[in-house]
Structure 1
Amino acid sequence: MMIDATTETRPQTTVSAADDRFHFDQMSDRWWITETAWFSFAKPEIGLGGWLYSMFRPNIGTVAGGCWIWDSTAHLPWEVPYSANYTALRIPDDQDLTDIQLPTGVRMKTIEPLTSYELGFEDEGRLSLDLRFDAVMPPRPLAKPGSSFQKLSHFDQFGRAHGKIVLHGEEIEIDCLSMRDRSWGPRPEHRPGKSAYVSGIASPSDAFLAVTKWNDDDYPVAYGFQIRDGVTADLVSGRRWVERCPDQHVVTKIRIEAKDELGRDLYAEGRRLSGIIINRHSFIDSNGLIEWTINGHKGHGEDQDMWPVHDWSAARRRLRG
């Protein structure tokens, strides 16, 4: 039974093996109640990045999302090497996230809870994907308010994605450090905000996540953590600076300066290798695959530059004069 909207639960701040499953019975009866599962992967040496993303709305019975693969040749979703972004397919009956085949083409299976997952995607003649994600850290739950996750329960986790994809007949081996996340709770389509979700990893001992404050043009860090010399601590302050391409407005260079709860500094500089702009209902995600230097260590990651569509349009109109 769904929880009544007036008794919506607060965001969850702990993670257990049960969080690999759906949370449909814990959420309210609002139509915009949403659950997501996201895995990223990349082959940075050739500028290739990819996502598997699934967004469930149990109260209206739909699943959205699919798979995106991009490289340095294009950033528009209808021009990148592969883009499948479904909006309203039916959630399968009698399947949980621990072992599910979705009509979007995405396949997910839990091998070890909160640790290892088999991932797949099939689109005959275009894309076949067979990967495994193995965590290199425990899942890190959302610890502070004010980020783009608002009232969602959420956690993030770095890991190693490895296996292969066959893209338009070309076999590509994947073996990279990457990120996954999970969210569940209220996510209405008609209330977008500007924010950024920035990740970077050089090794399991040197990585960071920085999520900026909701609708603040100075991009202060609202939530995040760093792993430095193998020790993980939440970020307590910081900021994101970017340079943008004058023609396309996408981020080309980026800098993160922050401090964690142990008093340690985080300094990361990055440059864009490739990217994709994904239209996600009333906002867009201009996502860049980034080559990072993180506290002196070379690595890679992503910068998800999120804008309400009307704000992006206004910025582009100003650039055009």
Structure 2
Amino acid sequence: MSEPREVFHPAGDDADWCESGWLGFNIAERDINGFVYYFHDVRTGVSGGGPALWDPSGGEVYDCLFYDWRWRQPPTGALDFRDFTLPNSLRHEVVDPMRRYRLSYSQLGLDLELEWSALMDPHVLGPASPEHCHFDQPGRMHGTATLNGERLDVECYAMRDRTWGPHRPGARRPGDYLWAIASPEMHWHAITMASREPGLDTVLGGYLVRDGVLGELVKGTRRVLERRAGAPARVVLDAEDDRGRTLHAEGDVRTALHWLGWPGRLTFWTLTEWRWDDVVGFGEDQ
């Protein structure tokens, strides 16, 4: 498979098969983090998801700034990936394939008008096929989030991902999804999994863009130095890419949401300020 396509992909035979997409955004000066996250099963026509916003005032789905990520929504039937609207009003439009997307939502006191644009091509993790793929893509998000009458301007770097294939419920080894963007020439992303050494996670994949040059992460570790209410508060990533370049990134968590969106999995979803290579960039440590 040479390039992901802008379609909802045919389902395989696995009962846990599903397709999902996520686009993040933040308002760093207010310590606000947010997402638009959807999923769809072409076999049943069942979709779900929605937006969320949180800051240090509330770290649970019941007391955060806003939460409308719905596990169950009325069946939609077939959807066209290029322009679809979920029952809770979340709309996703492909403006320019793999480069630009428009998002909107208007319910329960929140109005979103957002547009995401890419910084580089999608970065595919591992083998990809029409039956299974995961990719991540850095970009920019701009627009507005009007919450209970207060207009919040959104202008930030933002990551998105997309996955199709089995989404397994239940317990699994702990892992992490972390990224940071300081500029179009300086950004990185890593996925890690818990090792046998307590508190130490090993890098499974990711990338490093330094001075505009892309490299694949081939090894590394992620460690939590400090926790707050169970969630990471200070994090360190040390990694190396296939060009022999090393990355040392230190992250300070600004805010964390305790998220139980997928059955059997707890995620600490954080807005994190990262420092590396004498630059500062915001991102996450999930």
| Compared CA separation, residues 209 and 80, structure 1 to 2 (3 A) | same
| Compared CA separation, residues 118 and 39, structure 1 to 2 (3 A) | same
CA RMSD, aligned part only?
1.8
Deviations 1:157-186 (A, max 9, x none): 000000001011100100000100000001
Distance 1:63 1:261 in 2: 39
Letter in 1 for 2:18: T
Aligned residue among 233, 245, 264 for 1:252 = 233
Matches within 5 A, 1:92-171: 92-124=76-108, 126-143=109-126, 152-171=132-151
Q: Give the Å deviation of 1:255.
A: 0.7
Letter in 1 for 2:61: P
Contact 2:22–2:36 (Cα < 8 Å) also in 1: yes
> Are residue 268 (structure 1) and residue 249 (structure 2) matched?
yes
Relative to total residues, which structure has the larger strand share, 1 or 2? 2
Give the number of aligned pairs.
281
- Give me the identity figure in percent: 29
Relative to total residues, which structure has the larger helix share, 1 or 2? 1
Q: Secondary structure at the match of 1:45?
A: helix
> Are residue 231 (structure 1) and residue 213 (structure 2) matched?
yes
Unaligned 5+ segments in structure 2 are none
Aligned residue among 54, 60, 66 for 2:50 = 66
Letter in 2 for 1:282: G
Q: Secondary structure at the match of 2:274?
A: strand
Q: Give the Å deviation of 1:189.
A: 1.3
Matches within 5 A, 1:189-208: 189-208=169-188
Aligned residue among 265, 280, 286 for 1:283 = 265
Matching residue of 1:317: none
Distance 1:152 1:234 in 2: 20
> Are residue 52 (structure 1) and residue 41 (structure 2) matched?
no
Distance 1:57 1:167 in 2: 30
TM-score of the superposed pair, with normalisation by structure 1: 0.83
TM-score of the superposed pair, with normalisation by structure 2: 0.93
Q: Give the Å deviation of 1:107.
A: 0.9
Distance 1:144 1:266 in 2: 25
Aligned residue among 11, 16, 22 for 1:38 = 22
